[in-house]
Structure formats: structure tokens, C-alpha cells
Amino acid sequence: MLPRYRRSLLISLAFLGGLAALDLILFPAGQVGVILLSGLYQGMLFFLVAAGLSIVFGLLDVLNMAQGSFFMLGAYLGFAVYGALPEGTPVTWRFLAALVAATVGGGLLGALVERSLIRPLYARPIFQIVLTLGLATVANEIVRAIYGPAGLIPITPPAALDTTISVLGGRFETYRLFIIGMGATLMALTLLLLHRTRLGIIIRAGVEDREMVEALGVPIGRVFTLTFALGCAIAALGGITAAPYIGAYPAMGDAFLLNAIIVVVLGGMSSFEGTAVASILVGLARASAEQVSLEYLGSPLLATVSILLIMILVLLVRPSGLFGSETS
């Protein structure tokens, strides 16, 4: 492992340890467990949106400001499929169908978007970002036009996931544990993809040196489309996974987009591992900070503002983040 990596990893672990210790000091033992778990839950949600953002930025040099929209569209698509299945289909099947449909739909839509809208603007990177902003607006408006601004009634997940259990001294919803599990699984799967498959090697090589990969004769265009589609699929899956708990509404993507950007900046804009680590750190830090802020200020304001300020600090002092490469 590169010495820089090792250093960043140590910093992360130290931060983690410090956070846990701080929580144990500040809060009663029963609460700490819940705080840590809810931090993990938040972190996983951020990761689900940030993963695609990071990979796409690393390879295509595009900051996809519509990433939050794919998150949202995944939720809506999943809900639609859930409700469209014939009467009498058991909930578990509906739920699985929703998950699959959202992922596949998100991926296909992402591929379409990349080929038709992002690819032509390769020579004008500023306008690529600007276009994704427009996409986010359009997606928001289309959903409003079809479903109205209020949002949908959350679907019912399978019974096994619909309870609360006692964990680490407090009560925690099983569904949120499911979200944590889903996030962790995707983290592992993506890491596997990146490090153990041919596509993954190409992606990682492309992130490092795009011209070289092109020179080696790899059809970089197809890889771009696949990568973009992958990022969108993960976001969409994240959306449908989260929606039964947080609901589905047009603006759900926006809040998560900002947090995803924070995570990607902190972790290192083109580093997937950095994004994974940073999302957990940010989630845990947020959960703790929100608790502190609530107790002392009566609102989570301090937490949200602090996290933004930390991101600004990192942006200015070390734009490559925790795990990013020096040259970007």
C-alpha cells in the first residue's frame, strides 16, 4: 500500500476511534449504539449516491450534478413496479422486483444519457457539468408533472425488514440495518469489480491515465458508457432502498447530492476507496455532531454547517482529499 494511502487510512481510523470515544464520553451507553448505527446508516446512504459520482468523475472527468436525480428516479421507478405487479403477488417478490427494476432502469437511463447528452460535450467540460444541472431540473419537473410535488406513499417492505430490534443497548429499525447491509454489500461488490475484473482494471487504469488506455486500443467510449451506467444504477438502487424508509419525493435527490459531493471531496475526487471511507466517516461524524448540536443548540444546524466548513477547508488546503492523487 502506498505510504500516502497508509497515512490516510491511519488518519481515518484515528478519527473513527476518536469519534467513538467522544460519543462514549458525551452520551449514555445505550444511546451510543444507536448513534453509531444511525451514523452508519446515513453514511451508507451518502455512499450510495457518492459511489457513482466518484467513479464517473474519476474516469470521465464529469461531475454528474444529476446523480441525485438518478437516486430519486430509482425510488419512483421501484415504487411504480411495486404497484404494477398483479394482485396477490407476495410482498417479498414485489420488493425484489422493485429493487431490480430500479437498478436496471437506472443503469439503462444512465447509459442513454451518457451516449446522447454527455458524450457530445467531451470537448467542453464546463458545459458537461452545466448540462447535468439541466438534467436534474428536467428530471425533477418530469416527476412533478406525472406524480405531483407531494411525493408518494412509501411501499411496504417485507415483514422481516419491517420491525425494530434491540441492538447495542437501544432500539433500531431492521430496515435501517438492511440499508446498512445493502450499502456494505455494494461497497464490497464494487471493490471486487474494480480490483478483480477486467472492466475494473480498465476503469482504474483509465482513471489514472486515460490517454494511455485509449492508446492501448481499449474502446474507451463503451467503457465510459458502462461506467456512467454503473454509477447511475448504484444511485438508483440506493434510491429504491432508501425510499421505503425516507419516502419518495421529487426533492429527495438534492439533499443527498450535496452530501455526496462533500463525501467525494473529502475522500478524494477520483478515489473510490476514499469515497467509501469518507462516507462512513461523514455519516458517523454527522450523527454524533447532530446529537451534540441538538442538545446544546436545539437544532442540528451546527452539525450541517460544520461539515460544510470542513469540506471547504479540505477543498482549499488539500483538494485531493484523503485518498485522491496529487495531480487532478
Partner 1 sequence: MSGPMADSRRRGLWSPGALLAGLALLAAPFLVAGFLGEGATFRMAAAAMICAEGYTPFVGAALGTWLLLGMAVLGARRVAGANGPLTALRNHGARLWILYLLLITPFLLAWATDSSACIRGKAFFWQSVFIETFILAILAASYNLMFGFSGVLSFGHAAFFGLGAYGVGLLMKHAGMDLVPAMVITIVASAVLGLMVSGIALRVHGLYFAIFTLAMAEILHLLAANRIFVDLTGAEDGFTFAVPDWINAASNRMTFYYLSLGLLILTFAVIYRLIYSPSGRVLAAVRDNEQRAQMLGFNTFTYKTLAIVLAGALGTMAGILRGLLNKGASPNVLGVGFTVDPLLMTIIGGTGTFDGPIVGAFLLRLAEQLLRDTVVSLGPWQVNIGERWALLLGVLFIASVLIFPKGIIGSLRFRSKLSASREDETM
User: Where does this chain bind partner 1 (CB under 8 A)?
Assistant: 63, 117, 120-121, 124, 126-127, 129-131, 133-135, 137-138, 141-142, 144-145, 254, 258, 261-262, 265, 297-299, 301, 304-305, 308-309, 311-312, 315-316, 319, 328
Of the pair 130, 192, the CB lying nearest partner 1 is at: 130
Calpha distance 107→228 (Å, rounded)? 8
What would the DSSP string read from start to end of 246-315? H-B-TTHHHHHHHHHHHHHHHH-TT-HHHHHHHHHHHHHHHHHHHHHHHHHHSSTHHHHHHHHHHHHHHH
Q: CB nearer to partner 1: give 21 or 315.
A: 315
* Residues facing 164 on adjacent strands: 173
Provide, rounded to whole angstroms, the least separation between the CB of residue 238 and partner 1.
21
* CB nearer to partner 1: pick between 115 and 154: 115
Question: Closer to partner 1 at the Cβ: 144 or 191?
Answer: 144
Locate cell 407476495: which residue? 90
Q: Which residues pair with 290 in a beta bridge?
A: none
Quote the least distance from Cβ 301 to partner 1, whole Å: 5
CB of 87: closest distance to partner 1 in angstroms? 25
Q: How far is the CB of 192 from partner 1 (least distance, A)?
A: 30
Question: Nine-digit cell at 125?
Answer: 467540460
* DSSP summary character for residue 116: I
Shortest CB 293 distance to partner 1, Å:
10
Query: Which grid cell sits at 302?
Result: 451546527
Q: Which is nearer to partner 1, 121 or 168 (CB)?
A: 121
CB atoms within 10 A of CB 260: 30
Identify the three-state secondary structure at position 87.
coil
